[in-house]
Structure 1
């Protein structure tokens, strides 16, 4: 599957809108698009899936490693992969967009804000092109998409200013309907703030699909493939799936289905916990649904099941739901599952944002004693833990729960602020312990 990477000159330049417009343009011309996201984000991929009709692949070197990166890429479907970058092209020491493009040997199409420039757009793009050589990155900046660019003289000025080494792949016209609202964790999810189809169709008309398809290429395959297929004797894993628990990587669900039988339930709706051998509570927005979670009864049931020894893994929002209480930014406190000895409070500013590395203090649900896990943390909540709280991990990199530890554990339940990818081995370890 041929592909290319959409790298931005900075955060906020409009990479997501450009990705969606290009995906729509490719689909409109008969191509079958596989969307992907460089970096650990969950929100942008929800917009990708809404337009492309299939889950977006997670491509992050820190989370997956180079071979895992290729595995995730090649498990995609379609004939063209459109990879949205993270932050600016070269930003990030754990897994920048440039690092992902280099590891996969994919060309970079640079998204440049052209709202107030013409020749300067070309100068900016040329600088990003030559900087790769300056820092020894073997990537090809093939050309640009001009974000927020008008037609006529504005577009002509940009095209004529570009050197021969940079291709003009089209523009995204300025249109307020293309702006996606945001909140504390980034953009709103696609089901909350979909882009109007007519606005996206208009933006797609100004994209040079033929040039994009021509520049795309196919990365080398991974050295090893993943297992596939579950059997009747495999464990049953119940996965929370609703607006409060919506941050999960497609590869995680795939991995669980490869080794177990997966069932879903909605804590917001008050679904009873399915009969199962283990529960996975992904991250999401429990703070936006705290009242419903408190009154629904599912979390109380999880508390009882945890005390009976049911293995439960909670990531970020899952950690919050497993805690004793959750206090919103408005100051309202709600009872949660009461499994983990912590009280969680939402803050106005983010408390952690980074790639993380954890070392297991002892054997736990997702790692053996001394094993290391790599993941990602991004949260606005703060957990105050009881004095007798037990931690599963020391933090080698990242903030964790108290600055030096992550992973609260009680009974056979584990809650962490770290989101991990199945390539870390964490979910294999979890399934092995069921």
Structure 2
């Protein structure tokens, strides 16, 4: 499967719109698109899946390592993989867009804001291309897409100013309707604020499909084979609704390959399915706190936790496992009460980083002494009881409190850290379930 990376000059330049526009143009030409996202984001991939009806591959050097990243890429399907970048092309020490392009040996198409420039757009793109060589980065900036660019003289000026080694791959016209609304943690989810078919057609009309195909190249292969661990006799209940929507497709794929997976909706379901363990991914429990407060499924979850059923909660899942959630306007809602902590929402994010955890004891996602790499991004903080116990020390990142993460009670683990299955965390989780049900 050929691919290319859509990198930006900076955050907010319109990489998501560009990815959707290029993909729409390709699919209109009968070319199947496999979307992917550089970095640990959950929200942009939801827009990819909404448009292309195919799960977006998460590609992050820190979370997966080079080999894991390549394996995850090659699990995709399609004719061309479009990898949407994160932030500016070279930004980020854990896993920048440039690092992902290097790991996959894919060319970069630079998305440049052309709203207030012509020849300067070419100068900007040339600077990004030449910086790669100056900085010793093994990437090729192969072409340019002009974002917010009018036609006629505006487009001609940009195209004519580009040197021969930078292909002009088209433009996306300006327009306020080609915007996706923001909220905390990023854009709104794809099913909430996806662009209409007409909007995507408008955005894609001036993309040069043949030139895009010429730029795309095969990606580097992993050094190790993609061998999945054996299926085990276990049943996992995975929370999946508007409040718990931050699960990597690869995580659900790994769980399904190893166990029987059943989903449930904590915001509406009266009870928790019969299962050997529960996974509560991240999401927006604060937006659905009233429904969660009266949730029969969360009440059932508390009973199962007390009975010793292993439960893993990440970020939003951690919040739902706590005793109480307080919103920024002072409203208070009772949560499941499994973990001895209270949640406070804030107007500003409290942590944003790639993280590394060191296990201080055997727990659901790691054995004592093992390290796990992940990602944290949250607008909440926790106040924990004085006798609270933690499973992890932070090697990098903030965690829950005092450089610790992994709040534990019974056989429940709650963490601010989002983990990818390439870390081995979910294989460890399945093995614990089998030992418990044993």
TM-score (norm: length of structure 2): 0.98
Q: Which runs of 5+ in 2 are unaligned?
A: 434-438
> Could you list the per-position Cα deviations for residues 275-323 of structure 1 after superposition, in whole angstroms to 9, with x for gaps in the alignment?
1110000000000000000012211111110000000000000000000
- 1:26 and 2:40 equivalent? no
- 1:379 and 2:399 equivalent? no
- 1:398 and 2:397 equivalent? yes
> Could you list the per-position Cα deviations for residues 395-425 of structure 1 after superposition, in whole angstroms to 9, with x for gaps in the alignment?
0100100141011000000000000000011
- Please list, as runs of the form range in 1=range in 2, the aligned pairs for 1:67-216 lying within 5 A after superposition: 67-216=67-216
> Could you list the per-position Cα deviations for residues 5-50 of structure 1 after superposition, in whole angstroms to 9, with x for gaps in the alignment?
0000000000000000001000000000000000000000000011
Residue 35 of structure 2 is matched in structure 1 by 35
1:410 and 1:229 mapped to 2: Cα distance?
Answer: 28
**Cα distance, 1:234 vs. partner?**
1.8
Residue 55 of structure 1 is matched in structure 2 by 55
**Cα distance, 1:271 vs. partner?**
3.9
1:58 and 1:272 mapped to 2: Cα distance?
Answer: 32
SS of the equivalent of 1:319 reads helix
**Cα distance, 1:223 vs. partner?**
2.5
Residue 418 of structure 1 is matched in structure 2 by 417
1:229 and 1:402 mapped to 2: Cα distance?
Answer: 34
Residue 294 of structure 1 is matched in structure 2 by 293
| Shift in alpha-carbon separation, 1:230–1:272, aligned structure 2, 3 A | farther
**Alignment check: 8 A CA contact 1:240 1:267 kept:** yes
2:229 and 2:177 mapped to 1: Cα distance?
Answer: 43
Residue 332 of structure 1 is matched in structure 2 by 331
Task: Give the stretch that moved more between structures: 269-278 or 167-176.
Answer: 269-278
2:313 and 2:217 mapped to 1: Cα distance?
Answer: 38
1:46 and 1:303 mapped to 2: Cα distance?
Answer: 30
**Alignment check: 8 A CA contact 1:235 1:277 kept:** yes
1:389 and 1:299 mapped to 2: Cα distance?
Answer: 21
**Alignment check: 8 A CA contact 2:305 2:411 kept:** yes
2:229 and 2:107 mapped to 1: Cα distance?
Answer: 34
Residue 307 of structure 2 is matched in structure 1 by 308
Q: Which runs of 5+ in 1 are unaligned?
A: none
SS of the equivalent of 1:178 reads coil
SS of the equivalent of 2:294 reads helix
Residue 44 of structure 1 is matched in structure 2 by 44
**Alignment check: 8 A CA contact 1:400 1:417 kept:** yes
TM-score (norm: length of structure 1): 0.98
Residue 217 of structure 2 is matched in structure 1 by 217
1:271 and 1:228 mapped to 2: Cα distance?
Answer: 35
1:271 and 1:248 mapped to 2: Cα distance?
Answer: 22
Residue 6 of structure 1 is matched in structure 2 by 6
**Alignment check: 8 A CA contact 1:230 1:257 kept:** no
